[in-house]
């Protein structure tokens, strides 16, 4: 029997053409995308497609867009064997991370892909990305949210965009790849095992979050202003989770946590993790009771916080869930 795969087009470079008047890239009709890649027609795969109401550049992506796309997956979940989401690369890692939390007990492939060069261009990377993503989605071997790009399948909530010029745009800094495409597609043992649970879809996400990236000389008033403005804060600290030992900084964090703010600490470094108590400069976070995000990516940390704040949980439960490995986003 043919495997049924649904392509969901959200916009992005993969489906862009040049506006001759403005000399900028804009989304084009989805049907033209399919005509541009006749190779995706297969005797083994039945391919269907759907588009969001208004395809966008992924820099305009927000939680309302996530809900729209997740709803498309939910409404078509029982009718298809897998899903390929065409998405701009700039915020793809954020969307894939968010979907890993929004789609609980997922038992089918939801694979994000896109391209660095529009599909109509001569040197485009779009065709290979699209064709292989479809093949992986139809394989039955992937049962989670992932990103396929330039021969690699990455765990969605472990992926970051690292390059805007090369075809190797993404990296999974602290987690092994899920599959590698060469002459054959080699699937790795890091893939999630298929379960028999019923899909649960979560559509409530809170935007009441901020990222606070520390740098030498950052003003305490700046830190205070950011913390006061939102409920949840992801702090990108130095090295293995370090920060200034200025007592006023520690007092500021302690007061924020007394005020029911949710604060999580992750490392600015691409590789490695934030750890507790390794250096004296960990103390501001340790003393204040800041949550250690270990090796979570910024994208996973932010979207996990958005997801949990949207579940209407109390602060203690949110803190507990942040420290748990919910979807493979954090190493045990």
- Structure tokens belonging to residue 138: 């139809």
Q: What is the 3-state secondary structure (H, E, C) of the chain?
A: CCEEEEEEECCCHHHEEEECCCCEEEECCHHHHHHHCHHHCCCCEEEEEEECCCCCCHHHCCHHHHHHHHHHHHHHHHHCCEEEEECCCCCHHHHHHHHHHHEECCCCEEEEECCCCCCCCCCCCHHHHHHHHHHHHHCCCCCCEEEEECCEEEEHHHCEECCCCCCCCEECCCCCCCEEECCCEEECCCCCCCCCCCCEECCCCCCCEEEEECCCCCCHHHHHHHHHHCCEEEEEEECCCECCCCHHHHHHHHHHHHCCCEEEEEECCCCCCCCCCCCHHHHHHHHHCCEECCCCCHHHHHHHHHHHHCCCCCHHHHHHHHCCCCCCCCCC
Burial group, residue 261, by CB count within 10 angstroms (0-12, 13-18, 19+)? middle
Q: Are strands 82-86 and 103-104 parallel, antiparallel or unpaired?
A: unpaired
Active-site residue, selected from the candidate residues 13, 52, 89, 132: 13
Give me the residues paired with residue 145 across strands.
110
- Neighbouring CB atoms inside 10 A of 248's CB total 12
d(CA 178, CA 152): 8
276 neighbors 292 (Cβ within 8 angstroms): yes
In the annotation, is 13 catalytic? yes
Task: Give the pair of three-digit tokens for residue 244.
Answer: 């200034």
| Catalytically active residues, by annotation | 13
């Amino acid at each position: 029997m043919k495997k049924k795969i649904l392509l969901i087009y959200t916009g992005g470079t993969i489906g862009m053409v040049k506006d001759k008047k403005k000399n900028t890239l804009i989304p084009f009709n989805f049907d033209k995308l399919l005509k541009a890649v006749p190779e995706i027609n297969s005797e083994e795969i039945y391919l269907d497609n759907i588009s969001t109401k208004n395809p966008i550049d992924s820099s305009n992506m927000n939680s309302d867009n996530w809900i729209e796309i997740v709803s498309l997956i939910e409404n078509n979940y029982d009718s298809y064997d897998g899903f390929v989401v065409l998405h701009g690369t700039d915020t793809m890692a954020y969307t894939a991370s968010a979907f890993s939390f929004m789609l609980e007990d997922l038992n089918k492939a939801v694979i994000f892909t896109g391209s660095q060069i529009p599909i109509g261009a001569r040197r485009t990377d779009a065709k290979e990305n699209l064709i292989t993503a479809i093949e992986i989605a139809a394989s039955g071997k992937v049962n989670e949210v992932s990103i396929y790009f330039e021969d690699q399948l990455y765990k969605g909530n472990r992926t970051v965009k690292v390059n805007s010029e090369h075809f190797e745009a993404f990296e999974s800094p602290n987690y092994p790849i899920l599959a590698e495409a060469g002459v054959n597609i080699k699937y790795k043992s890091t893939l999630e095992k298929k379960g028999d649970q019923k899909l649960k879809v979560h559509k409530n996400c809170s935007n009441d979050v901020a990222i606070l990236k520390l740098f030498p000389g950052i003003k305490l008033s700046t830190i205070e202003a950011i913390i006061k403005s939102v409920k949840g804060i992801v702090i990108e600290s130095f090295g293995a989770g370090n920060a200034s030992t200025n007592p006023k900084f520690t007092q500021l964090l302690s007061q924020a946590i007394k005020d029911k703010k949710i604060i999580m600490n992750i490392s600015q470094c691409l590789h490695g993790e934030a750890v507790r108590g390794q250096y004296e400069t960990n103390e501001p976070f340790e003393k204040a009771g800041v949550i250690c995000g270990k090796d979570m990516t910024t994208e996973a940390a932010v979207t996990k916080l958005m997801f949990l704040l949207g579940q209407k949980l109390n602060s203690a439960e949110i803190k507990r869930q942040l420290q748990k490995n919910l979807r493979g986003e954090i190493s045990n």
